[in-house]
Structure 1
Amino acid sequence: MGTDRDRLDGRRALVTGGSKSSGRAVVERLREMGADVYTTARTMPGGYERPDRFIAADTSTAGGTDAVVARLAEDGPLDVLVHVVGGASTPPGGFAAITDEQWLVELNLNLLGAVRLDRALLPAMVEAGSGAIVHVTSIQRELPLYDASLAYAAAKAALRTYSKGRANEVAPRGVRVNAVSPGGIETEAYEEFVDRIAGGNGLTRDDAKQQIVDSLGGVPLGRFAHPEEIADLVGFLVSDRATAIVGAEYVIDGGTVPTV
């Protein structure tokens, strides 16, 4: 049975990358919990049900970040900030295939976008003495796939380190920062990744999927996570049920990462 500790009534939230897949699931989950949720992505989906709460912007750029901050400033400070946006777009072929430009694309998308938004939005949380931030990292920070997502993995590793440092800095001022580290998720981005692996290596899509699973050492659960499962974990971390959790990284990967 739910309690007030499960609710986010009266709180304002922003979810980046909230137009599809895990981001969309997080938006829906936080709204179910009672939050007033804004989301940002490069393009608003057709028929989006809350256009007044959608900010079309590319948060991998400084200009995109400025646009998000300006729009939010019209309505007041945030209570919850969830960085979901991310992805890999480098070609297969290992480290030698990644150009300087592609490294910068991955770093801006998977690391610096979160850094810029935090820098702009977190001070108001500190002033208010409360707030919750979640950075979505990846198990690739620990199990990098070198063929087509090495730059992505490196950026997510940097995001985890940044998240921990930020958590230690602002926890004494009432703001909690944590991270969620998914393994494989059954999303549109995953299917695009499969296509890149298949096309770059002359494989069928089934063989490409198996190569991805094998490169991770298998998935004991027998499947990748669903976006809704990621959203449930995020919802818990930003709720009052997690008020003593600071600087943590929660792995949600079906047992992929070996632990002892």
Structure 2
Amino acid sequence: MIPFVNLEGRRALITSGTRGAGAATVRLFRDLGAEVMTSARSRPDTLDGSVLFVAADLTTAEGCATLAANVQDRMGGVDIVVHMLGGSSAPAGGFAALGDADWTRELDLNLMPAVRLDRALLPGMITRGSGVVIHVTSIQRTMPLPEATTAYAAAKAALSTYSKALSRQVSPQGVRVMRVSPGWIETEAAIRLAERLGAEIGAGVDEGKRRIMASLGGIPIGRPSSPEEVANLIAFLASDRAASITGAEFVIDGGTVPTA
């Protein structure tokens, strides 16, 4: 029986695919038949040997150029690009704590890798008249936490706006562009954060999780999303099952973002 979602024969680049939701997406794409390349600053010992890997710092133009060159040389081009890379190292303390260097780092991590890789890889998709680009944004773009995520949220908002503009330009040429906007994902890093927050008040990881959910205004389903759930959404959007979807943003946050 042919699976509901099938990526057999597709060439996929998934950035930051060695941990968390990125690693879950790499595993699922491989299980669904795709040839997968991923990147990080160094290769982990746990990475499946069937996955093509490039060591590169994508916060730099040179790192993006290295990855794009490997896509062309080792896969002959790409059919699907999933921009998983993102995060924040900015200090807490609100706007006054953010210097120019902090703003530059957030943009170089959360916006510019997608801009640079798309610029390098989309021409091949346009020439073939087909392709899929998925930008992973964040619910923080619509509900930032002023004390902690101002610069990160602004960078993700910029990524979302860029993605929408790109979709309007290249969708008529056969390339679908979409956004996936996760809320809190229960990654290894998230668990460590919950453990630390729980320990601060002499409690365990469950109390730490409750504190994180409370800071987001609550998660109606009562838990974060799993990396695998995020990967499932991405794989569906990348597949032919979603062939008429482009330019849209799909929120996967357990109901965190309130709507009117």
**TM-score in terms of structure 2 length:** 0.92
Secondary structure at the counterpart of residue 225 of structure 1: coil
Q: What per-residue deviation string (whole Å, max 9, x for no partner) do you get for residues 65-96 of structure 1?
A: 01101111213110000000100111221121
Matches within 5 A, 1:9-20: 9-20=8-19
Q: What per-residue deviation string (whole Å, max 9, x for no partner) do you get for residues 194-233 of structure 1?
A: 588789xx76686664443223211000000000000000
Question: Given residue 55 of structure 2, which amino acid in structure 1 is its aligned partner?
Answer: A
**CA contact under 8 A between 1:55 and 1:71: conserved in structure 2?**
yes
Offset, 1:193: 5.3
Summarize the Cα distance change of 1:52–1:147 in structure 2 as closer, same or farther, 3 Å threshold: same
Q: Which moves more between the two structures, 138-147 or 211-220? A: 211-220
Map of 1:70 onto structure 2: 69
Map of 1:182 onto structure 2: 182
Q: How many residues of Structure 1 are paired with residues of Structure 2 in the alignment? A: 257
Map of 1:228 onto structure 2: 228
Question: Given residue 73 of structure 1, which amino acid in structure 2 is its aligned partner?
Answer: Q
Matches within 5 A, 1:81-96: 81-96=81-96
Map of 2:136 onto structure 1: 136
Secondary structure at the counterpart of residue 6 of structure 1: coil
Map of 2:35 onto structure 1: 36
**CA contact under 8 A between 1:167 and 1:246: conserved in structure 2?**
yes
**CA contact under 8 A between 1:92 and 1:196: conserved in structure 2?**
no
Offset, 1:256: 0.4
Distance between the aligned counterparts of 2:223 and 2:93, measured in 1? 26
Unaligned runs of 5+ in 2: none
Distance between the aligned counterparts of 2:219 and 2:130, measured in 1? 37
**CA contact under 8 A between 1:17 and 1:23: conserved in structure 2?**
yes
Map of 1:167 onto structure 2: 167
**CA contact under 8 A between 1:164 and 1:178: conserved in structure 2?**
yes
Distance between the aligned counterparts of 2:201 and 2:156, measured in 1? 27
**CA contact under 8 A between 2:41 and 2:55: conserved in structure 1?**
yes
Report the RMSD for the aligned CA atoms in angstroms: 2.1
**CA contact under 8 A between 1:57 and 1:68: conserved in structure 2?**
yes
**CA contact under 8 A between 2:193 and 2:208: conserved in structure 1?**
no
Secondary structure at the counterpart of residue 22 of structure 2: helix
Question: Given residue 100 of structure 1, which amino acid in structure 2 is its aligned partner?
Answer: D
Summarize the Cα distance change of 1:51–1:169 in structure 2 as closer, same or farther, 3 Å threshold: same
Q: What per-residue deviation string (whole Å, max 9, x for no partner) do you get for residues 110-168 of structure 1?
A: 01111100000111000010001100000000110122221111111111111111011
Identity of aligned pairs, percent?
52
Question: Given residue 148 of structure 1, which amino acid in structure 2 is its aligned partner?
Answer: A
Map of 1:250 onto structure 2: 250
Distance between the aligned counterparts of 2:248 and 2:156, measured in 1? 15
**TM-score in terms of structure 1 length:** 0.92
Distance between the aligned counterparts of 1:59 and 1:229, measured in 2? 25
Unaligned runs of 5+ in 1: none
**CA contact under 8 A between 1:18 and 1:84: conserved in structure 2?**
yes
